[in-house]
Amino acid sequence: MTAEIEVQANEGQFVKLVADNEFEINDVYPHQIRRIDNQEIKEPYEANGYYVICLNAKRYQLHRLIAQNFIDNPDNLNEVDHVNRDKSDYHIDNLRWITHSDNLRNKSSSNNIDYVYVDSLSDDAIVINEYGKHRFEFYYYDNETDEFLFYNGRQYRQLHVNEMKKTGALFVYMMSTDDKQVKIYLNKFKKIYEIEF
């Protein structure tokens, strides 16, 4: 434990753990968890980028325990998102209850592709509402950077450009408003939207 964590662990107060009432959790980061009867501190460990902790032979993700205890969930949502996409950062202000589909919109990678997020678009970015018979929401094309982006409610995620093996045609995937995955071919898109290429 670092000196900072040791100092912070002495602050705050312990409250009963929602997931297992034989334990209590400190309301201040790093949110130590201890057994109530003997005050034994349970140490979290890392597994697949997440901190987990074992209580009564059951394994829990630490960020979920923290959210269950300290973050309101009036809509009874089932997933806890790391806002900054750092799975090891379990500060309360980095966690939020979220739907599965919204959690997928804030993922850091998929299929060995690390996503890049940006905070803003250029002034000449184009809103993509349709492509052929398909309708979309929250997709953009930024002509200044020649990138397709998806807005997840907080930031813009750059879409990965794929290449057809046989033809070499470039495309990105977008989810239509009726939840269908659609290939958007760059050349066709630029013709439709009258963008030079």
Confidence label for 5 from pLDDT (cuts 50, 70 and 90): very low
Alpha helices in 10-139 (DSSP H): 62-70, 100-105
Q: pLDDT band at residue 7, thresholds of 50, 70 and 90?
A: very low
81 has a pLDDT exceeding 80: yes
Rounded to whole angstroms, the Cα distance separating 36 from 34 reads 6
Greater model confidence, 101 or 63: 63
CA separation (Å) from 54 to 20, 91, 95? 11, 19, 21
Extents of the domains making up the chain:
3-107, 117-192
Distance CA 145, CA 179 (A): 27
Tell me the pLDDT band of 4, cut-offs 50, 70 and 90.
Answer: very low
| pLDDT tens-place string over residues 154-191 | 999 999 999 999 999 999 999 999 989 999 999 999 99
- Classify 177 as helix, strand or coil: coil
Phi, psi of 126 (to 5 degrees): -110, 135
Q: What is the pTM of this model?
A: 0.76
Q: What CATH fold (topology level) applies to the domain 3-107?
A: Homing Intron 3 (I-Ppo) Encoded Endonuclease; Chain A (3.90.75)
Tokens of 194: 């009258």
